[in-house]
Amino acid sequence: MEYLSTDKILIIDLNAAEVEEEDLDETLVKEKIGGIGMTTYLYDKYKEEDPIVIGTGLLTGTTYPASASGQITAKSPVTGKVCHCPVIYKLGVEIKYAGFDYIVVKGRSESPVYLWIHDGVADISDAADLWGKDVWEATDELRKFVGDDLLQTMLIGPAGENGSDYAQVCYNHWNSPDRFGFGKLFGSRNLKGFAFRGMGLIEVAEPEDYVERSLEILKEVKENKFLGKKGLAPILTALGEEGVDEWIDPVTHRHSADYFTPYASNTALFLDEDPGLLEESKKEEPGVLVSDLYALLGFKNSGFSAKDAGSALKACAKYGIDPFAVAKLSGKTTLEEITASFDSISGEITIPGRGIFSPWCPAGPVFNDFGLAGEDGTIAWWERRQAVSMIFGIQPMFSLMCPELTEENMLELASLGTDIELTRETLDAVVDTILG
């Protein structure tokens, strides 16, 4: 597979401490397109070994708007279903640029390890010094060791090591969309996580046409009025929550977007520093980056101040636990009680539809109605939208906002980028397989 791809699938056997590479066959792309189309295929291929499959979308890391996302596909230790967790921030892009489109992890290591993926090299590295460290400490230590602050990590914290049901795989220092307990899965394999860094390039079959069409689509996107908004609060307001703006405003420092995503859906809160500070903070940990709407809302509805909610989210990120599950299931109302309850969180959270996509994303459209009517239809639409986003590598929250990103133009760009004729029939077949 020559274009939009590294042409490589990485197979890691933790039992044998061995790595091998497979070429990504173009005929497979013609059948499965990419993203969770391919991770589902790879999961089934290695099903007997209960693999963890990491992937990137076919358009990930390109000029197509919001082409930011990667995916983790694995069987959830919480639900028992094969689920798909979006990989967000800049991490999805880094996976592809680190030299692999897909990574299959099989088996269990005898001792703690992490996987250092860089420029087409995969090293199974000793994690003895990282095991027991929280997500922030481990991320900082890896960045210091490798000598690069741009290193992107996908790590578990103590929650994953201790086998908590709602242990999360965190991205860099922050919580992730993982509602499936994939952190517990990593921990059960003695896998502290991944570090990714790549300085690679992706070839595009028709580069000029690809960029031109991308920019045309971006221009259409920018005409949508929701792009005047920023951060989590407007999304929650659009979903009918009241008073979020006033509540969060005193600690809001800035908003940031995922790779090439026109809406800044992550909100940074300053907790130990004046959010209005115009210079770089002297404090080492002045705040927390929040991407989880419902965790934030959960703490708000439990009566937390925005500052305390931010502190709870920060503690969850360090411990590597799903903050939504903590807010919903702990039943605690103070920060001290919450942090003390991390190892005893249990119970169920509701996952809409077939239960294979993360309810980190709202289960319906945001800002725009996409012409939908009726709850049943909305969930079906939402599942297809999630599936399609994660096939092509589109930031799944943004795809719920932006009707200008259509299945047609995703297919068009995929064909332009790969020189492979990809049709709606193929896409329908891939989505049907994913949705079972």
CA distance 50 to 402: 35
Q: How far is the CB of 279 from another protein (least distance, A)?
A: 18
Q: Which is nearer to another protein, 201 or 373 (by Cβ)?
A: 201
CA distance 258 to 395: 8
- Using the rule CB under 8 A, is 145 a contact of another protein? yes
Q: How far is the CB of 35 from another protein (least distance, A)?
A: 26
Q: Which of 2, 23, 123, 343 binds another protein (CB under 8 A)?
A: 123
Q: Which is nearer to another protein, 148 or 421 (by Cβ)?
A: 148
CA distance 166 to 329: 10
Q: Which is nearer to another protein, 100 or 324 (by Cβ)?
A: 100
Q: How many CB atoms lie within 10 A of CB 98?
A: 26
Q: How far is the CB of 244 from another protein (least distance, A)?
A: 37
CA distance 17 to 113: 10
Backbone φ, ψ for residue 131 (5° rounding): -65, 130
- Using the rule CB under 8 A, is 150 a contact of another protein? yes
Q: Which of 48, 149, 242, 376 binds another protein (CB under 8 A)?
A: 149
Q: How far is the CB of 98 from another protein (least distance, A)?
A: 9
Question: Could you tell me the two tokens for 330?
Answer: 């702990």
Q: How far is the CB of 119 from another protein (least distance, A)?
A: 4
Q: Which is nearer to another protein, 223 or 279 (by Cβ)?
A: 279
* Residue 218, CA distances (Å) to 81, 112, 406, 409, 415 in order: 36, 44, 12, 11, 18
CA distance 37 to 168: 23
Closest by CA to 33, choosing from 14, 12, 10, 60, is 60
Q: Which is nearer to another protein, 100 or 360 (by Cβ)?
A: 100
Q: Which is nearer to another protein, 146 or 239 (by Cβ)?
A: 146
Closest by CA to 53, choosing from 190, 199, 186, 157, is 186
Q: How far is the CB of 125 from another protein (least distance, A)?
A: 11
Q: Which of 199, 215, 277, 340 binds another protein (CB under 8 A)?
A: 199
Number of residues engaging another protein in binding (CB under 8 A):
15
Q: What is the residue whose two structure tokens read 């115009």?
A: 278
- Using the rule CB under 8 A, is 121 a contact of another protein? yes
Do 95 and 117 touch, CB atoms closer than 8 A? yes
Q: How far is the CB of 148 from another protein (least distance, A)?
A: 4
Render the burial of 236-272: b for 16+ CB within 10 Å, e for the rest.
bebbebeebeebbeebbbebbbbbbbbbbbbbbbbbe
Q: Which is nearer to another protein, 121 or 215 (by Cβ)?
A: 121
**422-424-426 Cα angle (round to 5):** 60
- Using the rule CB under 8 A, is 120 a contact of another protein? yes
- Using the rule CB under 8 A, is 129 a contact of another protein? no
**Interface region with another protein, contact rule CB under 8 A, candidates 148-156, 231-239, 263-271, 390-398:** 148-156
Q: Which of 189, 197, 230, 300 binds another protein (CB under 8 A)?
A: 197
Q: Which of 50, 146, 224, 404 binds another protein (CB under 8 A)?
A: 146
* 369 CB burial (10 A radius; 0-12, 13-18, 19+): exposed
Q: Which is nearer to another protein, 120 or 355 (by Cβ)?
A: 120
- Using the rule CB under 8 A, is 203 a contact of another protein? no
Q: Which of 84, 96, 118, 184 binds another protein (CB under 8 A)?
A: 118
Task: Indicate the DSSP class of residue 286.
Answer: -
Q: How far is the CB of 99 from another protein (least distance, A)?
A: 9
Binding-site ranges for another protein (CB under 8 A)? 118-121, 123, 144-151, 197, 199
